[in-house]
Each structure stands twice: as structure tokens, then as C-alpha cells.
Amino acid sequence: MALWQIFSIAGVVAIILEITIPSGFFLNFAVAGFFTALISLYVSSITALVVDFIVISLLSIWLIRPLLVRTKDSDNSSGLDNKYIGKTAKALETITKSSGAITIYDERWDARLLNDGEDIPAGSEVKIIKNDSLVLYVEKI
């Protein structure tokens, strides 16, 4: 088996690991594996290639990892993309600072009061102000 094939397989294994365990960590080794596979087309020393793999892995961790972490932190973890913000919904249960439920587009969502104030009784119309994960914060209209 040629050296470029070995490092390409290492890159594919790292991508599979990244897909199954999405952490952004194994992606660095995939990049290193593929770059080392390209280098192995011109260099035949296994020692030099292993050193290249290690150096490229470290550079990838140093350069790419901060970008992945920054991008991950800025993502909306609920996947809602704020599509419900500003919409009107109906309270299914009394909404307090710690409990409640609303319905919007025939979907049931946990809801909480955004500000201190009176509880919102069931059946009231509410406006969605923000979301935090799978909890929508509302105020009475």
C-alpha cells in the first residue's frame, strides 16, 4: 500500500469520527491526513511524513479550531433562527416566570414570562419576545 493511501485513509477515518462525534477536533486530523497524503506524492520517507502529519495537525488545531469554536458559539442551538420572534401566540396554560405553555402554528411550546409582572392566564394572546433553546419568552398583548 502506498504512503499516500495510508494518509488518505487516516483522513477519511478522521472525517468519519468527526461526523459521529461532532467536536471539531477530528477535522484537524482529517486536514492533516489529506495534506500529508499530497506531500507523500513527493516525499518517500515515512519519518518525514509522520513529522509532517504531526506539524500539520498542530497547525490545524492552532488555526482552524478557534474558527470552529467561534462559529459553534454563535449558532442558535435550538435551530429556531428566531422565526417566532414578534409573532402572536395563544397561552395554553397559565404562564409564569417558571412555567407555562403556548401554541403557535399548531405547535406546543414551553413558555415563560420575560419580565416580572402578572401571570398570563390560559387563553390569552401573547407576543413572543425571545427564545432560549426550546423555551419561548413572552409578554401579554
Under 8 Å between Cβ of 51 and 10? no
Exposure string over 75-95, b if 16+ CB within 10 A, otherwise e: eeeeeeeeebeeeebebebeb
H or E element that contains 15: helix 3-20
pLDDT band for position 102 (cuts 50, 70, 90): very high
CATH 2.40.50.140 in the chain: give the residue spans: 88-140
- What is the chain's Cα-based Rg? 25
pLDDT score for 72: 60
Chain segment 35-73, per-residue pLDDT in tens: 999 999 999 999 999 999 999 999 999 998 788 777 665
What pTM, to 2 d.p., does this model score? 0.51
Task: Please provide residue 140's backbone torsions phi and psi, each rounded to the nearest 5 degrees.
Answer: -70, 145
Homologous superfamily (CATH) for 88-140: Nucleic acid-binding proteins (2.40.50.140)
Residue 24: its pLDDT value, please? Answer: 80
Question: What's 42's DSSP letter?
Answer: T
Q: Predicted confidence band at 134 (pLDDT cuts at 50, 70, 90)?
A: confident
Beta strands in the chain (DSSP E): 88-91, 101-104, 107-113, 125-132, 135-140
- Confidence check: pLDDT of 126 > 70: yes
